[in-house]
Amino acid sequence: MKKDFNEELDSLQKDKKSLQGRLNNLVGKFAEYQLATDFRSRKRFPLSVYFNGLPDTDIANTPLNIIEVKQRVKFQRQDGKEMEIDVMALSDDGRVVLVEVKKRNEKIGIAVVKDFLEKCTAYGACFPEKKILPAFLSTGGFTEDAFLFCDNNGIGTAEKIIYFV
C-alpha cells in the first residue's frame, strides 16, 4: 500500500509541475499582451514612461507615435537561425521598440539579457534603416550584473507596467 501511495504521489507531482509550466507560459504571454495592448492604446508617449535607463534622454522622452504593434515577431539572422522578439512596436518616425518580457518570480540574470541583445543586434542587421530601442520587462527584477549590463548597453529596464494615464 505504501508503494502504491508513493507512486500516486510521484504521478501527482509530475502533473503539478506540468500544469505549473503551462500556467507560467500563459502568464508570460498575458504580460506580453498587456504591454502590447497598452502600446496600442496610446497616441503619443515617451518611452521613458515605461522603461528606465535608455541611453539617450532626448530619444527616450521624444514621443513615439506607434503605428504598428506585433507580438512574437519571428525573423532570421543572416546565418538562418530563427529568432523571436516578444513585443515589437513601430513608430511613424522609423524607431522600433523591441521588448523582451519575462514574467518570473526570480531575477533575470545576465545570460538572458545578453541573448536579448543578440536578438536586437540581429534585428537591426535585418532592418538597418530602423532606429532600434531595446527594452526589457522583468517582473522578477534583475540581478546586479544584468542590470549593469542593460545600463551599459542602452537597454531600457522595467519591473512592471506602470503607465496608466
CATH number of the domain to which 78 belongs: 3.40.1350.10
Cα within 13 Å of Cα(78), Cβ side? 8
Mean pLDDT, range 64-83, rounded to an integer: 90
Beta strand ranges found along the chain (DSSP E): 66-76, 82-91, 95-102, 131-138, 156-158
Query: What Rg value do the Cα atoms of the chain yield, rounded?
Result: 19
pTM summary value: 0.84
Q: Does residue 75 form part of some domain?
A: yes
State whether the Cα torsion 112-113-116-118 is positive or negative.
Answer: negative
Distance CA 63, CA 104 (A): 30
Number of structural domains (the chain) is 1
Summarised one tens digit per residue, pLDDT across range 20-45 is: 888 877 877 888 898 899 888 888 88
- Domain of 76? 2-158
Predicted confidence at residue 165, as pLDDT, reads 46
Q: Does residue 165 form part of some domain?
A: no
Task: Kindly tell me if the per-residue pLDDT of 164 is higher than 60.
Answer: no
Summarised one tens digit per residue, pLDDT across range 80-129 is: 889 999 999 999 988 999 999 998 888 999 999 999 999 999 999 989 99
Distance CA 60, CA 156 (A): 9
Q: Does residue 102 form part of some domain?
A: yes
